[in-house]
Structure 1
Amino acid sequence: MRLPLRILLTALLPIQNLMAAGVHQHGAAQLDMVIEPPLMAISFSSPLANLTGFEHRPSSDAEQQSWDDTLAQLQRAEELIQLSAEADCSLSRVDLHLPFTAKSRIQSNEHEHEHEHEHAHDDVSQNSHADLMAEYQYLCANSPALKVLQLPLMQRFPAIELLEVQMVTPSGQHQRTLTAKQTGLQLP
C-alpha cells in the first residue's frame, strides 16, 4: 500500500521537532524530502530574514523589491535544487506558504503558472518572527538515478549558514546537516 506524500512528509518530523515547532533560528533552514518512486517531494523552510533580510511586510520600495525577488527566486526551483538529468525528473508543482500577504508583482494572474500556488497567513505582527516555506513536487521517470542533489540555494540565499536535511527514501529515514560551502547532497 502506498501512503500519500503528505503522510510521508509528516514522518520526517521527529518528536523533538514537533515539540520545538516554534523554534526560529536565523542562519539555519530546513529541507525535508520524500522519495517514493516515481514521486519526489521537497519542502524547504527558512526564517524570512534568511531570504529577504527582514521578517515583516515590506514597508519600503527596497523591501518590496527584495520580497518580489525572493518569491520569484523560490518559484524557479531549478536554480535552487538541481537533479541529475539521468533521473528524468519534471517539476509538477510549486507551493509557497507565505507568512503574510503583500503587494507583489509576481502574484498577478498573468504571471502565474498552473503548477504554482501561494498560500498566505496574515498572522504576523510587525515585531514577530516569520518563516516562509516552499514545497516542490517532482515526477521522476528514473528515480534510481537520483544519487546526488545539487543545492545551490545556500549560495542564492547567503544568510543561510546551515541546512538541516531530513529524508525518507526507499532505504529508510536519514538526516544530514549541510554548511554553506556544501552544495551536494548524497542520497542514500
Structure 2
Amino acid sequence: MSVPHNQPRRIRWLLLAALFAVTAPVTAGDDHDHGHDHGHRQHDAHVHGVAALNVAVDADTLLVELDTPAANVVGFEHPPRNDAERAAIAEARETMADGAALFVPNSGAECVQMSHKVSLDLGSPGDHAHTDGEIHADAHGEWAFTCAKPASLSQLDVQLFEIFPGKEKLRVQLITPSGQRGAELTPDSHKLDL
C-alpha cells in the first residue's frame, strides 16, 4: 500500500523544505538591489554558474533538492525560440529525472531513487521579463532515495558538474541526524561528506 508509505514521506519533504527556507543563509547577491523593490521576486541566489543544493538524511531516507538558474541546465533562460531549444529543455527534464545519475550515494548504503519532481519551465514569449529587461528562469528538482543500509551512508558524489557543465559552484545546506551545516562544492571538489 503506497499511500500510507508516501504520506509520511511527503510530510517529511514539507518539514524539511520549511526548515531549509528558514535556515537558508543570505547570499552574496543581496547588495545588488540596494533595498529597492521592483515589484518582482528577488533573485538573490540567481547567479549563473551557481546553484543551491539542499541535502537531508532522515532515517533510511536521503532527500535532495536543487534550485538553479535555467541557464546552468539548458544554456539559456528565455522562452524556447526554435525546435533545438525545445529539445534542449525536454532533454534536460529527462536528465534531471534520473536522480541516481546526478547524485550518487556511496555504494555501501545501497540507496535507490524512489521519487522525483522536476520543474523546468522557461515559459512563452513575454514571460519572466522584469522592468530592467532581465529574464530569470529557474530549474528546480527534488529527489528521494531510500537506503537499505542507512548507517553506512557517508558520502554523496554530486555529478551535476559533469552532467550540466554550466555550473561552477553549489552552495549546500546539509541536515543529518547529527546536525546542520553548510558546504560548497565545485567541479574539482564534488563529493559531499554526510
When the two structures are superposed, what TM-score results if normalisation uses the length of structure 1? 0.79
Letter in 1 for 2:43: G
Question: For 1:82, what is the secondary structure of its paired residue?
Answer: strand
**Structure label with greater radius of gyration:** 2
Alignment-derived partner of residue 11 in structure 1: 19
Moved more, 30-39 or 60-69: 60-69
What is the deviation of 1:68?
A: 1.6
Matched, 1:94 2:116: yes
Measured on the aligned residues, the alpha-carbon RMSD in Å equals 2.5
More RCO (CA 8 Å, sep 6+):
1
Alignment-derived partner of residue 128 in structure 1: 135
Alignment-derived partner of residue 149 in structure 2: 142
Contact 2:104 2:158 in 1 (8 A): yes
Alignment-derived partner of residue 179 in structure 1: 186
Number of equivalent positions: 167
Flag structure 1 segments of 5+ consecutive residues without an equivalent: 103-121
Flag structure 2 segments of 5+ consecutive residues without an equivalent: 1-8, 31-41
Counterparts of 1:1-188 in structure 2, within 5 Å, are 4-13=12-21, 14=23, 16-17=25-26, 22-23=43-44, 24-100=46-122, 124-125=128-129, 127-187=134-194
Cα distance per residue 1:104-144 (max 9 Å; x no partner): xxxxxxxxxxxxxxxxxx96349520111010011112112
What is the deviation of 1:149?
A: 0.8
Cα distance per residue 1:153-182 (max 9 Å; x no partner): 111111100011101101100110011212
When the two structures are superposed, what TM-score results if normalisation uses the length of structure 2? 0.77
- Using the aligned pairs only, state the percent identity: 28
